[in-house]
């Protein structure tokens, strides 16, 4: 079945340093989504990328979808303590009758130290 892997699994950074997580799918994706889960919380939708090579920015966060639509990255510039959490990418496994079954990546846990 479809597999979505993320690296690294964990990342500790000093506040102000940059952070990047990479997402790789075993299959071509129609779109890629990113979620953030704060410690003890639930995943929150951040963004969806649809086009090959697409780049989107949300303040200090930059999201990129690969040309082959099998990989993606999330880059955070100048991390802050509010960025702490686990970041998941997710790709649709199949669309059945209007459904949107997502396969989530393995996640990257980010810790930011002062």
Positions that interact with other proteins (CB under 8 A): 30-31, 33, 35, 41-45, 47-48, 88, 90, 92, 95-107, 109
> What is the nearest approach in angstroms of other proteins to the Cβ of residue 49?
11
Residue 54 burial by CB count (10 A; 0-12/13-18/19+): exposed, middle or buried?
A: middle
Q: For other proteins, which is the closer residue by CB, 97 or 114?
A: 97
Q: For other proteins, which is the closer residue by CB, 8 or 99?
A: 99
Q: For other proteins, which is the closer residue by CB, 19 or 35?
A: 35
> What is the nearest approach in angstroms of other proteins to the Cβ of residue 78?
26
Residue 114 burial by CB count (10 A; 0-12/13-18/19+): exposed, middle or buried?
A: exposed
Q: Sheet harboring 61-65: ordered strands across?
A: 4-7, 19-25, 71-76, 61-65, 55-58
Best CA proximity match to 19, nearest among 101, 76, 81, 72: 76
> What is the nearest approach in angstroms of other proteins to the Cβ of residue 3?
11
> What is the nearest approach in angstroms of other proteins to the Cβ of residue 35?
8
């Amino acid at each position: 079945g479809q597999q979505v892997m993320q690296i690294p699994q964990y990342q500790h950074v000093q506040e102000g340093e940059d952070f990047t997580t990479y997402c790789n799918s075993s299959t071509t994706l129609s779109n890629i989504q990113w979620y953030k889960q704060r410690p003890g919380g639930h995943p929150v939708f951040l963004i969806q990328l649809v086009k090959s090579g697409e780049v989107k920015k949300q303040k200090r966060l930059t999201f990129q979808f690969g040309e082959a639509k099998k990989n993606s990255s999330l880059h955070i510039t100048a991390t802050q303590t509010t960025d702490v959490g686990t970041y998941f990418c997710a790709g649709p496994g199949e669309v059945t009758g209007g459904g949107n079954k997502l396969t989530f990546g393995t996640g990257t846990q980010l810790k930011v130290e002062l």
